[in-house]
A and B are shown apart, each in its own frame.
Chain A
């Protein structure tokens, strides 16, 4: 398998993929970078055959040809979503996009005998915060009291009963702000008086605010853990990166053990865990992004890139 390539599935402008691809290149490990959205253009082609033997075929990009059954590892980073690019009208465009997702995406998801970092269907499952919270509790993490509801009475009772409470969307969202500019929703405090019947408008997630002294990000690559303490005094540290200070720290043995149980539970090789660190030293689970960013933290960038290159080169845990 020494000539088997590592397939890096991502967009061309994914700068986080570059240092890992560069490392593999320098080590002489074959790398093929693919953005599956290119299958809907002229840039990439695929033919896959199926029968009693299983699957065979190949992918061609502008610069690589990859045998479907000869892939060492797949790094599923940030591929461009399938989109109609030929200007075809609906419902033709939707048909083409849906067929691409199940066809091209389905062939990629069926690649045999390779290491997945991570399999996209595992990512999909692990992105659901309710599943994260249930799995985290089962793995032994301390989990904040959390409510997902469309009932305003339940939301008010929760906000009063567990004050202070925060609201956080179940999924990253970009929405227009009141002034029409693009906006997003940070984690923010909630008082029951601010809640109204519009809670019925969709699912809303409320969580008891953890009395934290700092945040911790743990980036997991296979068996390797990279823990970084984040100091900045912010409820949601993503709101102001300029205010943050990062320090590499160790991970308590019981937290590390719980992380490995969690990773195994979701079948993940990579994960980015967020914890709130209390004054008493407890690590409280907030969430785990199965495809989180990591390279912006200079204190860990080289170490994580090295670990990813090691894992992908090895092609097994």
Chain B
């Protein structure tokens, strides 16, 4: 039962690939100094209408559950990996 002979945990066999067809938009975000809300800009620097940007962290977001362009809120796809809990 030594772990050394079983370096890959069984749970890893359960991994499913994300959907590669789903777009992942990476808008530029700045903080509005007055309202303290995010202001989103497309790659050309044009403001994106509020609520029309994909949201949440894109760093490790599964594209299958990611909000594609036109969706507006991070879904319940992440836990402590994407943010600091302490």
Contacts and interface: CB of A to CB of B under 8 A. Distances in A.
B74 A16 contact: yes
B77 interface: yes
Contact of A198 (B8, B34, B74): B8
B8 to A, nearest CB: 6
Please classify how large the interface on chain B is, using the bins under 10, 10 to 19, 20 to 34, 35 or more: 35 or more
Interface residue SS majority, chain B: loop
A250 interface: no
A198 B76 contact: no
A15 B38 contact: yes
Interface string A290-309: 01111110000100000000
A241 B65 contact: yes
15 contacts: A13-B57, A16-B74, A25-B35, A124-B80, A167-B11, A171-B81, A178-B17, A179-B17, A185-B14, A188-B14, A196-B10, A198-B8, A199-B9, A204-B9, A289-B79
Contacts of A295: 72-74
Contacts of B56: 13-16, 78, 293
B42 interface: no
A169 B33 CA distance: 40
A238 B76 contact: yes
A62 B33 contact: yes
A8 interface: yes
Contacts of A8: 36
A267 interface: no
In order of increasing CB-CB distance, the 4 nearest A-B pairs are: A15-B55, A201-B9, A177-B17, A63-B33
Interface in B12-62: 12-18, 20, 27, 29-31, 33-38, 40, 50-51, 53, 55-58, 60, 62
A169 B14 CA distance: 9
Contact of B73 (A15, A123, A196, A292): A15
Given A11-B83, A289-B76, A296-B74, A238 B65 contact: yes
B24 to A, nearest CB: 10
Given A25-B34, A174-B60, A293-B56, 5 more contacts: A79-B84, A172-B79, A198-B9, A200-B1, A201-B12
A144 interface: no
Given A13-B38, A196-B10, A296-B74, A184 B82 contact: no
